[in-house]
């Protein structure tokens, strides 16, 4: 990874910026209200002819930019400066994540997709020097992250996985299996794992046959099922607000977990099926499988030295704060003459 964030927790300080904007608007409203009680707008313009609303807004902008860069200085981004080759031991693990619309069903809190992400993220946390990759699929399969030793990047890409990233909807496990065959970048790797996380709503007959073929190439397939056997409707949301449920011919569609299909895929591919409705169960199961697997030595390039970059953000932040202090609310004389911001009419 070319860069590293030393203290990402300070990103939470950015939540103070909207509060500062609200405070500024409230103070501005209070000033206007108080001024109206004191005198009319025409009289106020005569009493303070050089007051500039634009300058006040510009001061606020400088202040916010200054605070933003100071927050980034606290986060302290670091840039890698020295790339070296290191030898590591591990296995290759590819996660195939179902991002079809049925994974948005909320029979498993918060929903099937988010539960699946939690499982993958916790499994990644348990890994050592193992390499990971991520495939997303629905009606088609797409590479989300190539095989890498950068577990931090894997978790970051994982959070962005959603149904909108896949153009064709459906649950085509076959497509994920097809892509997985070409995903591993080391033919000498003795242990290659494919972990499919899905609700199993797949209706393609050739899925099991393809799983068996991929097993013959030395890839062990494990499946994790999420969702209830009872089923649940598929919510339709706009900007997070529920607007209804998916319907077919006027009837609400119920999506159910197909455990039998997932068990069949795992069985023909020398793997196992794991119930994923409780996060800890699949995490512990996969952790045990990986820890007992034979490790293969491989070479990888990684940055070993990182240089602090906080000083640049600190300098820029202080510059904006200094500009804020020295920028007066009065109109600039040469701007006043050309009336660039039409302030004579305000």
What are 175-200's pLDDT values in tens digits? 899 999 888 865 556 688 999 999 98
Higher pLDDT, 200 or 336: 200
**The whole model's pTM is what?**
0.67
**Topology of the domain comprising 87-301:** Rossmann fold (3.40.50)
Query: Which part of the chain has CATH 3.40.50.410?
Result: 87-301
Q: What pLDDT is attached to residue 167?
A: 79
Higher pLDDT, 165 or 117: 117
R_g of the chain, CA atoms, integer Å: 28
The H or E element spanning position 210 is: helix 207-216
Q: What pLDDT is attached to residue 29?
A: 82
Dist. CA 146–CA 136, nearest whole Å: 12
Which pLDDT band holds residue 298 (cuts at 50, 70, 90)?
Answer: low
The residue with tokens 């629905």 is 138
First CA to last CA across the chain, in angstroms?
A: 52
């Amino acid at each position: 990874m070319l860069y590293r964030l030393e203290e990402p927790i300070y990103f939470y300080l950015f939540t103070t910026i909207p509060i500062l904007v609200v405070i500024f608007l409230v103070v501005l409203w209070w000033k206007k209200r108080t001024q109206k009680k004191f005198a009319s707008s025409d009289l106020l313009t005569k009493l303070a002819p050089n007051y500039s609303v634009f300058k006040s807004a510009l001061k606020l902008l400088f202040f916010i930019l200054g605070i933003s860069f100071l927050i980034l200085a606290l986060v302290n981004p670091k840039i890698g400066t020295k790339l070296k080759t290191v030898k590591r031991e591990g296995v290759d693990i590819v996660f195939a994540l179902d991002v079809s619309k049925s994974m948005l069903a909320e029979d498993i809190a918060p929903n099937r997709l988010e539960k699946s992400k939690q499982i993958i993220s916790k499994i990644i946390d348990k890994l050592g020097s193992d390499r990971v990759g991520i495939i997303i699929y629905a009606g088609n399969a797409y590479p989300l992250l190539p095989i890498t030793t950068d577990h931090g990047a894997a978790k970051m890409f994982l959070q962005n996985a959603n149904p909108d990233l896949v153009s064709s909807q459906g649950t085509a496990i076959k497509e994920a299996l097809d892509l997985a065959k070409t995903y591993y970048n080391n033919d000498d790797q003795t242990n290659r794992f494919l972990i499919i996380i899905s609700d199993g709503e797949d209706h393609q007959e050739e899925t099991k046959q393809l799983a068996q073929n991929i097993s013959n190439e030395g890839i062990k397939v494990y499946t994790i099922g999420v969702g209830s056997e009872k089923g649940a409707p598929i919510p339709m949301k706009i900007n997070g607000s529920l607007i209804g449920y998916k319907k077919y011919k006027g009837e609400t569609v119920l999506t159910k977990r197909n455990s039998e299909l997932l068990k069949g895929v795992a069985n023909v591919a020398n793997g196992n099926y794991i119930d994923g409705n409780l996060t800890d169960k699949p995490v512990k199961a996969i952790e045990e499988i990986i820890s007992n697997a034979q490790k293969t030595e491989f070479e990888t390039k990684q940055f070993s030295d990182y240089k602090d970059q906080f000083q640049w953000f600190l300098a820029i932040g202080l510059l904006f704060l200094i500009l804020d202090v020295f920028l007066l609310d009065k109109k600039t004389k040469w701007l006043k003459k050309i009336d660039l911001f039409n302030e004579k009419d305000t």
